[in-house]
Structure 1
Amino acid sequence: MAMLASDIETLIRESFPNAQITVQGDDGVHFAAEVIDESFAGKNRVQQQRAVMAALKGKMDGPNGEIHAMALTTKAPE
């Protein structure tokens, strides 16, 4: 089942309500997302990206995941 960029933004926003979130992608399975959130301060990129992946609630898990690929950029505000 294909997803919309807005669906992904909604999932991420549940975990990061005050984040600046940009999600792009129009084929339903390949996306790019940028998440900028205060909670990332002091965390390395792996920790930041794991937090965002957890927010996707398994939508990228295994061959049956709804999201095939996501280029993910995370950072704390400057």
Structure 2
Amino acid sequence: MVTPESIRANIAQGMATDHLAVTGDGTHFDAVVVSEAFAGKSRVQRHQLVYQTLGERMRGEIHALSMKTYTPDEWQKQIQ
């Protein structure tokens, strides 16, 4: 069974993050990913970076993943 923790671990192994939170019910998941790697990238490019960390899991195990992706500066503005 896919868990939020296993998705979080995959993302954390695949890219440096300043903040990473994953929630979900085993089928549908939501992620908030904050990384300097997103600087200068479009929303689609940011999502592609996260999808790369999950690899084949996105084609089978994970049925739906909603993401919010931020640079550290963008994240600071969100949480103020």
Bin of the TM-score, shorter chain as denominator length: 0.7 to 0.9
- Aligned: 1:20 with 2:27: no
Q: How many residues align?
A: 73
Gaps (5+ residues) in structure 1? none
Distance 1:58 1:19 in 2: 24
Distance 1:72 1:47 in 2: 12
Gaps (5+ residues) in structure 2? 74-80
RMSD of aligned C-alpha atoms?
A: 1.0
TM-score normalised by the chain length of structure 2? 0.84
CA shift, 1:16, in A, is 1.7
| Aligned twin of 1:66 | 61
Residue deviations 1:5-58 (CA, integer Å, cap 9, x gap):
000000000112333101001x21210001010111111111100000010011
Structure having the higher helix fraction is 2
